[in-house]
Homo-oligomer: A and B are copies of this chain.
């Protein structure tokens, strides 16, 4: 999913933190709107905790939080893969 990637089909306009973005990708518009609303929620949450930060820094910290959550989930996937391998013998 990326901006300005015209090999993919769906174009969805979404609002995130007061700005409109056109997201282009192979996912459904409803998936893209869900992703956008999660980013918007997280940015507003971080902004409330850090009211002195500008929107670029809020967005970077949103990405930082998200990569952190991704890595934690990745660890969980690895543990589950090990468990599955053991169960399958």
Contacts and interface: CB of A to CB of B under 8 A. Distances in A.
Interface of A: 1-5, 16-17, 19, 21, 23, 25, 27, 31, 34-36, 38-39, 42-43, 46, 49-50, 53-57, 59-71, 73-74, 76-77, 80-81, 83-84, 87-88
B73 A70 contact: yes
- State how many copies of this chain the complex holds: 2
A3 B38 CA distance: 19
A84 B87 contact: yes
For the complex of A and B, the 5 pairs showing the least CB-CB separation, nearest first, are: A59-B59, A56-B56, A66-B66, A63-B63, A62-B63
B64 A67 contact: no
A17 B60 CA distance: 9
Nearest to A46: B2
Contact of A70 (B5, B19, B56, B69): B69
